[in-house]
Structure 1
Amino acid sequence: MMRHRIVTYGGLLMASALLATVAGAPAASANPTTPMPATEKLVVVSGDEVMIRTPRPGGGLIINLYRAPEQSSGLQMLARLKAKGLVPAGVTTQVEADPMECTTIYAQAKYLCLKTVPHYWFNWRWNGFSDPQIYFRDHTPAAWPVRASVTEWNRAVGVDSYWTTGACPTGGRHCVHVWNADYGDDWVGHTYMEVDSIGFFIDGLVWVELNDRFSSAEDNRSTACHELGHALGLAHNGSVSSCMYWQAIAGPDPRLPLQTDYQVLTNILYRD
């Protein structure tokens, strides 16, 4: 049985839930202790998504994830990103073969990773809490249902997601800003993230942007859900019923995560 509690206080929404834990996933509760190997600049095009990876000065990676508008392919979006100088020179491009997405036993749900030895995945530090504390600082209007999406993501046991319009908290808690604006006609949603040399997200260097140019009551919930899932460490889900699906579909896009998305968070990325 699922128990769900929502409390609002001073602009802060806190939602908690209990889900049954599914055993059998590879444990990923302790990140590797050795620094990542040197990695090349890389662009990956998968369906309607483009991922741009560059080495981070001082170690780690910078990752930009872009979601294409409807009626636009990932390759078309990549051409526009290149024209605007958003893709570094000399970068290697791969199509439909993503070295940054790891498969799982949970159907078609995947997580962001680096397929090297040792294996690296991307998640938030615990910082002394029983679960990592992620605060999504919402700068968007009601047209973007960020609050509703945060509530859904908080159903995953192992990582706690909070919605706030107030100041970012301190004391080991993490903050992801969620912005909106008219960002032009290149992409619908964008998640920016930096990870350190062993794969932890870096505070203040992970954020989400939602493009008002393509704002619609039909798909805004899906876009918000999708980008927030990336900010927690998820890659795509091959199921057309998940908001983490990797391309636009005819009609309204899926608005919610699937149980398999929760299972990846609970049993892989944030497993105790």
Structure 2
Amino acid sequence: MSDYIRQHAVKIDYKLGESWIILNEIEQSIKKKIEAVGTPLKDWNIKINRGILTGLNEAFIISKEKRDELIKADPKSAEIIRPILRGRDIKKNSYEFANIYVITAYKGINKIIKKEYPAIYLHLKKYEKKLRQRGQVEGKPGKPRSNQHHWTELDNNVSLEKLDDFNRQKIVFSRISGDTPSFAMDEKKLLTNDTGYIITGNNLDYLLQQLTNPIIWFSFKKFYMGGGVEKEFKVNNLFNLPIPFVGKKIEVTSIEKRYIKDLI
């Protein structure tokens, strides 16, 4: 038994605090190569933010028909109705807009919504009982929570500053990914719901190219994705993914290329 172990053992090097996974020799080689030339995303000049959490989708997420109805009743409604993507709408280098919209009832809008956006206020009023039952809504018995908000507002205290991030050029992605990476560029100021995320910052075109690269995607799934629900990755782990800076390249052998191709 000891001779067999000695002959077939594979040495695996780990950094302090790194997740413990068993890799074969080809996988070890690929991991070393990507880490030799790559810089973790956390050290790039970017931000990764979760999409909009409404707390009650039936009130805040609306169809195109309902959007048109609200705008017809009051044209100012258009100011706070935005197109939104769900995580499942995002594909590799593209997305499929499903003609759904979100009422962007930001933190503090309760002070003006009834007067400035009467049609939207009346729409939300129909759901008032359910909206008040959300855990973050103020006015409940007990000690007040720091993230409490008015019943007419979105959950998680969505600020105008956060909404402005969606107006920038950004990469949108889904935390639920299958065999191919679900990252795409958006320049149409779309929002995402809480199953979608956005990346803003510098070098986005280059980053998108890298995030959809088969070698990078294989490496993320195999080495950095972390455990959890099948096909769902922990977004915080994306910060650990090494991406080569412009001008650097991961040199893989033909055997390693075939290995990656067979597994993704």
Query: With structure 2 as the length reference, what TM-score do the two structures score?
Result: 0.22
Q: Which has the higher strand share?
A: 1
Q: Which has the higher helix share?
A: 2
Query: With structure 1 as the length reference, what TM-score do the two structures score?
Result: 0.22
